[in-house]
């Protein structure tokens, strides 16, 4: 395990930029993930949109043809710097869902992730309720932990040669400080979500509750875009007429959208990642963890 | 009027035979942000709240609700949206029971430094206190207040059937002023171009700005038209700019300045600057402000032979 001094960050990033297209969080009105040019990444704040927006661009060239079909597989070597552990965990869902999608696989193979652990989780975050942790290293190639004056670097993949720059060896004291931060972060995770209700929620398909919840929704596209693990497949609201504007919001969209994020799809485990970006930016203060909570209430009422 | 008195008043309304539904505010799940709620009986009304955190414009829901008679809780700016909708014959005034609230301005929750989970915002004099989990944060009024409230010309609803409070509770209106827009106009074209290019390159085309707008109610939106396709659905800075320009032009002379589009934008695009620019142009050309009464005329759909071109 290594230590990266904060002064050495700039040098390390230029070292990475030589080999990869580095995406990192920068502040441009809001926190966005952009190809890093000469600016300094802002690692302290959470991003508005998950890294899925980079792995699945809104539009991309899939093939071209003149006389012959020419398939364009993405070749860029992408490095995501400073994504949060929950973001990295969300890739597990894509890995299982898109296991035979050549475009996804090509991009995934060329993808490296340097995650940054959450020292102070957001007030609404709940990754510990869904098997994650603010210090989870799942799917990450390196995990950085901010120790104040330096970053503690966990090396987790075999591609260390490509990633490790001019680092110092970590000492026991650094390790101790990291453990302390981890304990404190997990303790600070205030919000708990009861995920045992998954199966029961599926039975609630025809519940009047959805009507009430759907009333509030304005059918915009923020939540399918901003929730890390919602894919085009799962955000069926786009297909079922949710975006068909001017018609009353169908109460079906809500269970469709919310149950799908929870339900097992194609046999994959369907873990939620405990991210709350969408909690922060839903314009109508309707959130999928609301739905979990509301489900709770209903189950209580129905004595299921 | 305190909250209990407001609830009593609303209970009287919901007991009436002709009112089926009241659209009002309630606390969100986490107990800080307020959200829209639909009250059908007296028990529901117990959930009603009104505080500086009630930022949403509820008249958007008239797009979806088609009931007999709807009671709707409005502040001054929301009321203008309602009146504009009445002008355009989208809703009938007699189908509305306007429950006005004298408004003292709402807070922009994005300006609160901590991100509170539970709690409330209390207003006292020209200070706001954010109370969250036993902690108190003090802010000056100008620090937290939403931008639109600084330019509010009608804090007291222009028309109402019931007023929850006294007319004197509302903050003082200001005269229509577009100083912020005039300041932007001083910038060079190059500078403005760069500014908007940056803003539009962030747009994710979630269309929340369109869906949340109470006055964007066309059943067939040009965005969804495929033959001809006016605007590409994919997100690119040029197409995004075209989308916003088209949206704002459709609202010229109709936008009442509730600035819901700006509030909901997840990517922080300063849409208010576009809508206010158009509002300013219409005001200077025609001396017209949208939604100032049920009887007004739509400025771009009215022609007078005496008009000088």
pLDDT tens figures, B11-43 = 999 999 889 899 999 887 666 778 888 899 999
Out of A59, A245, A286, whose CB is closest to B221?
A245
Mean pLDDT taken over chain B: 88
**pLDDT for position B309:** 61
CB of A13 within 8 A of CB of A41? yes
What is the percentage of chain B residues whose pLDDT exceeds 90? 44
Residue linked to tokens 């398939």:
A71
**pLDDT for position A201:** 56
Task: Kindly determine whether residue A220 and residue B264, on different chains, have CB atoms separated by under 8 Å.
Answer: yes
CA angle A288, B58, B205 (to 5 degrees): 55
Interatomic CA distance for residues B63 and B83, integer angstroms: 14
Q: Which of A79, A22, A87 is nearest to A226 (CA)?
A: A87
**pLDDT for position B30:** 63
**pLDDT for position A251:** 45
**pLDDT for position B81:** 94
- pLDDT higher than threshold 70 for residue B222: yes
State whether residue A59 sits within 8 Å of chain B by CB. yes
The arithmetic mean of pLDDT across residues B213-218, rounded, is 90
Residue B137: burial class (beta carbons within 10 Å; 0-12, 13-18, 19+): middle
In the DSSP assignment, the letter for residue B303 is -
The arithmetic mean of pLDDT across residues B276-291, rounded, is 91
Two tokens at B60? 């958007």
Task: Kindly determine whether residue A246 and residue B198, on different chains, have CB atoms separated by under 8 Å.
Answer: no
State whether residue A124 sits within 8 Å of chain B by CB. yes
Q: Which of B58, B102, B30 is nearest to A218 (CA)?
A: B58
Closest residue in chain A to residue B31, using alpha carbons only: A285
Helix B189-202 crosses helix B237-250 at what angle (to 10 degrees)?
100
pLDDT tens per residue across span B128-163 = 988 877 788 889 988 889 999 999 999 999 999 999
pLDDT tens per residue across span B174-215 = 888 899 899 999 999 999 999 999 999 989 888 888 888 999
The three-class DSSP label of residue A116 is: strand
pLDDT tens per residue across span B243-277 = 999 999 999 999 999 999 998 888 889 999 999 99
Task: Kindly determine whether residue B198 and residue A28, on different chains, have CB atoms separated by under 8 Å.
Answer: yes
Task: Kindly determine whether residue A246 and residue B63, on different chains, have CB atoms separated by under 8 Å.
Answer: yes
The three-class DSSP label of residue A160 is: helix
Q: Which residues of A touch B29 (CB under 8 A)?
A: 287, 289-290, 293-294
State whether residue A105 sits within 8 Å of chain B by CB. no
Task: Kindly determine whether residue B30 and residue A124, on different chains, have CB atoms separated by under 8 Å.
Answer: yes
Out of A124, A220, A247, whose CB is closest to B208?
A220
State whether residue B285 sits within 8 Å of chain A by CB. no
Q: How far is A284 from chain B (nearest CA, A)?
A: 6
The arithmetic mean of pLDDT across residues B209-238, rounded, is 84
Q: Which residues of A touch B198 (CB under 8 A)?
A: 28-29
Q: Which residues of B touch A215 (CB under 8 A)?
A: 36, 38, 61, 64
pLDDT tens per residue across span A7-56 = 888 899 999 999 999 999 998 888 888 898 888 899 888 888 888 888 88
**C-alpha separations of B113 from A109, A151, A287, B116, B132 in Å:** 40, 26, 22, 9, 12
Task: Kindly determine whether residue B35 and residue A285, on different chains, have CB atoms separated by under 8 Å.
Answer: yes
**pLDDT for position A37:** 85
Q: What is the ipTM of this complex?
A: 0.83
Task: Kindly determine whether residue B208 and residue A222, on different chains, have CB atoms separated by under 8 Å.
Answer: yes
The arithmetic mean of pLDDT across residues B289-303, rounded, is 86
Task: Kindly determine whether residue B207 and residue A245, on different chains, have CB atoms separated by under 8 Å.
Answer: yes
Task: Kindly determine whether residue A58 and residue B235, on different chains, have CB atoms separated by under 8 Å.
Answer: yes
CB pairs under 8 A between A and B: 115
Name residues of chain A where pLDDT drops below 50. 233-252, 255, 257-272, 278, 286-304
State whether residue B110 sits within 8 Å of chain A by CB. no
State whether residue B283 sits within 8 Å of chain A by CB. no
- State if pTM tops 0.90: no
CB interface of B with A, residues 167-196, below 8 Å: none
State whether residue B199 sits within 8 Å of chain A by CB. yes
Q: Which residues of B touch A122 (CB under 8 A)?
A: 115
The answer to whether the bond into B228 is cis (omega within 30° of 0) is yes
Longest Cα pair distance anywhere in chain B, in angstroms?
A: 65
Number of neighbours of residue A155 by Cβ within 10 angstroms: 17
CA angle A243, A248, A249 (to 5 degrees): 55
State whether residue B242 sits within 8 Å of chain A by CB. no
Q: How far is A68 from chain B (nearest CA, A)?
A: 26
The three-class DSSP label of residue B208 is: helix
Residue linked to tokens 């966005």:
A32
Mean pLDDT taken over chain A: 73
Two tokens at A37? 């040019």
Two tokens at A194? 């009861």
């Amino acid at each position: 395990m290594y230590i990266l001094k904060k002064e050495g960050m700039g040098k390390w990033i230029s070292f990475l930029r030589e080999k990869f297209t580095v995406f990192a969080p920068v502040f441009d009105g809001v926190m966005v993930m952009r190809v890093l040019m000469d600016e300094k990444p802002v690692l302290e704040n959470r991003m508005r949109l998950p890294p899925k927006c980079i792995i699945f661009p809104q539009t991309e060239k899939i093939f071209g043809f003149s006389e012959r079909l020419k398939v364009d597989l993405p070749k860029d070597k992408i490095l995501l710097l400073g994504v949060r552990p929950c973001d990295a965990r969300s890739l597990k869902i894509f890995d299982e869902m898109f296991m035979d999608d050549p475009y996804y696989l090509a991009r995934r193979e060329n993808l490296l992730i340097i995650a940054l652990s959450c020292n102070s989780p957001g007030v609404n975050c709940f990754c510990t309720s869904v098997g994650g942790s603010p210090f989870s290293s799942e799917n990450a190639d390196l995990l950085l932990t901010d120790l104040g004056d330096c970053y503690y670097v966990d090396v987790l993949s075999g591609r260390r040669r490509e990633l490790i720059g001019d680092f110092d060896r970590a000492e026991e004291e650094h390790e101790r400080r990291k453990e302390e931060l981890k304990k404190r972060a997990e303790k600070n995770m205030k919000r708990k979500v009861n995920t045992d209700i998954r199966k029961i929620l599926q039975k609630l398909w025809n519940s009047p509750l959805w009507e009430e919840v759907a009333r509030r929704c304005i059918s915009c596209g923020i939540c399918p875009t901003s929730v890390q693990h919602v894919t085009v497949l799962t955000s069926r609201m786009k297909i079922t007429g949710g975006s068909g504007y001017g018609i009353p919001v169908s109460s079906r969209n809500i269970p469709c959208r919310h149950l799908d994020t929870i339900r097992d799809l194609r046999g994959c485990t369907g873990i939620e990642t405990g991210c709350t970006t969408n909690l922060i930016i839903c314009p109508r203060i309707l959130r999928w963890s609301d739905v979990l909570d509301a489900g709770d209430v209903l189950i209580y009422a129905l004595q299921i | 009027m305190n909250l209990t008195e407001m609830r009593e008043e609303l209970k009287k309304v919901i007991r009436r035979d002709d009112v089926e539904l009241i659209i009002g505010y309630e606390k969100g799940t986490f107990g800080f942000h307020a959200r829209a709620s639909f009250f059908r009986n007296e028990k529901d009304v117990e959930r009603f709240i009104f505080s500086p955190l009630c930022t949403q414009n509820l008249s958007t829901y008239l797009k979806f609700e088609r009931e007999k008679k709807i009671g709707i809780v409005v502040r001054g700016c929301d009321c203008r949206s309602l009146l504009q909708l009445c002008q355009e014959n989208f809703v009938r005034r007699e189908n509305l029971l306007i429950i006005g609230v004298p408004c003292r301005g709402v807070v922009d929750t994005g300006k609160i430094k901590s991100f509170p989970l539970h709690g409330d915002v209390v207003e006292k004099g020209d200070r706001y206190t954010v109370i969250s989990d036993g902690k108190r944060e003090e802010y000056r009024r100008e620090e937290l207040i939403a931008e639109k409230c600084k330019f509010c010309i009608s804090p007291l609803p222009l028309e109402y059937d019931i007023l929850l409070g006294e007319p004197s509770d509302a903050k003082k209106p200001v005269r229509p002023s577009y100083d912020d827009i005039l300041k932007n106009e001083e910038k060079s074209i190059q500078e403005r171009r760069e500014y908007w290019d940056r803003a539009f390159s962030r747009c994710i085309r979630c269309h929340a700005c369109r869906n949340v707008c109470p006055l964007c109610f066309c059943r067939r939106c040009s965005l969804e038209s495929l033959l001809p396709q006016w605007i590409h659905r994919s997100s690119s800075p040029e197409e995004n700019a075209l989308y916003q320009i088209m949206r704002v032009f459709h609202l010229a002379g109709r936008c009442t300045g509730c600035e819901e589009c700006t509030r909901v934008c997840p990517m922080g695009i300063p849409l208010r600057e576009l809508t206010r620019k158009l509002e300013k142009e219409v005001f200077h050309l025609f001396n017209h402000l949208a939604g100032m009464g049920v009887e007004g005329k739509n400025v771009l759909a009215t022609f007078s032979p005496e008009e000088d071109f």
